[in-house]
Amino acid sequence: MRVHAITTYVIALPMRRPHLSAVGAGLRRYVIVKVTSDTGLEGYGEATVLKEWGGSYGRYYGESHKTVLHMVNDVLAPALRGVNVFDLEVAHVVMDRATRGHFYAKAAIDMALFDLQGKALNVPCWQLLGGCVREQVPICHSIGIMSPEDAAKEAGEAVAEGIRAVKLKIGYDADRDVETVRVVREAVGRGVAITVDANQGYPSAGFAIRVLHKMESYDVLFAEQPVAGLEAMGEVARKVGIPLMHDEGAWTPQDVLQIHEKRAGDLISLYVAKPGGLWPAKKMAAVAEAAGFLCNVNGSAETGVGNAANLALAGSTAVVSLPCVIPITRLSREAPTRVAGAFYTDDIITRPFHYVDGALKLPTKPGLGIDVDEGKLAQYAAD
């Protein structure tokens, strides 16, 4: 079964509220990719593009939906035509020879190939990734930069809907950041995990150390990427009691190896998108496991397509033992939660994933386990 055609769609979903971080909160566009095999079978993937976000010091760069459209339609699709759908390693070699970087575009195609494989073999995607390590993936609810009072209110609402971990975006204003952690801890009590994520927003290691010291008494589970760069992260790690997670600093297996060698942190944030898909993400997880890093699966407010890949990665990877910052997909007519994990008020898949006790259950249908509503692709089409 070989790649015959690749089709792209640009969509924008209606947001529940803006999600502000230290890198901003731009208008979101997603590229949905459909790979059609020579047998007529179709698989879907997603490029969760973020043009404002990337690696430390420009080592990896943002991609817009137009960037992804160009790379998929004009570069990757011609290169992949005729490649065996089951030859994932070959597909990635072909894509890497066709263009360096452009991980979002490659991740979308990788997801679609896994979706095709699962449908052809009549097995879920997670079965192809090593099997089911966990049937349910605990969700961490992400709260963007807002007033401390609003953050505490939203955290309380998410906890009331079953969430047992919340992530607070910080890195914008140090005093607000510390106060937000304080009032959220007061609102949710000691039985709920709190993590913080500065998205490299603090200007120096010394600045980050002073701010994180002020948060230590509020039982912060870990701090995600307070500063840019391995050296600065290493300095913070040596002087702060809160464990440090690398996100912007960890895109590839080689990055994880360097973090370990320089003792620059404690935890790794895995993505499907950052390394370029599920196949390279599993390689990255293997290096993290060998180095002794625990991981979560972190997302970028994916649609149901990308979130199906998130669940497959988290459910099949033993080292992913921390709550995952991925959406709880909802539809306009069917919403598992009102606030918890809800980035959008509607989606392009036909059914939301099953949510229970603060966790999402792995889908069991073949491939990614979803059906894409092509009417919704048209309804939410964007330029």
Q: Which domains does the chain have, with CATH numbers?
A: 3-122+373-379 (3.30.390.10), 127-361 (3.20.20.120)
DSSP category for residue 344: B
DSSP category for residue 333: S
> What is the structure's pLDDT at 142?
97
**Mean pLDDT in order along the chain per 10 residues (383 residues):** 98 90 75 98 96 90 95 98 98 98 97 98 98 98 97 98 98 96 98 97 98 98 98 98 97 98 97 98 98 96 97 98 97 96 97 97 98 97 95
How far is residue 155 from each of residues 65, 102, 182, measured CA to CA in Å? 31, 35, 12
R_g over Cα of the chain: 20
> What is the structure's pLDDT at 25?
60
How far is residue 73 from each of residues 7, 95, 111, 181, measured CA to CA in Å? 8, 12, 16, 45
Q: What is the pTM of this model?
A: 0.96
Q: List the structure tokens of 36.
A: 């059609």
Q: Alpha helices of the chain — where are they, by DSSP H?
A: 65-70, 77-80, 88-98, 103-121, 125-128, 148-160, 174-188, 205-215, 230-239, 253-261, 278-291, 304-315, 374-379
From 206, 207, 203, 236, select the one nearest 222 (Cα to Cα): 236
327-361 in b/e form (b: 16+ CB < 10 A) is: bbbbbeeebbbebbbbbbebbbbebbbebeebbbb
**DSSP-derived secondary structure for 132-160:** -S-SEEEBPEEE-S--HHHHHHHHHHHHH
From 273, 378, 373, 382, select the one nearest 331 (Cα to Cα): 373
Q: List the structure tokens of 343.
A: 């980035």
Q: Which residues does 270 contact at the CB level (< 8 Å), separation at least 6?
A: 281, 284, 285, 288, 295, 296, 297, 298, 313, 317, 320
> What is the structure's pLDDT at 24?
65
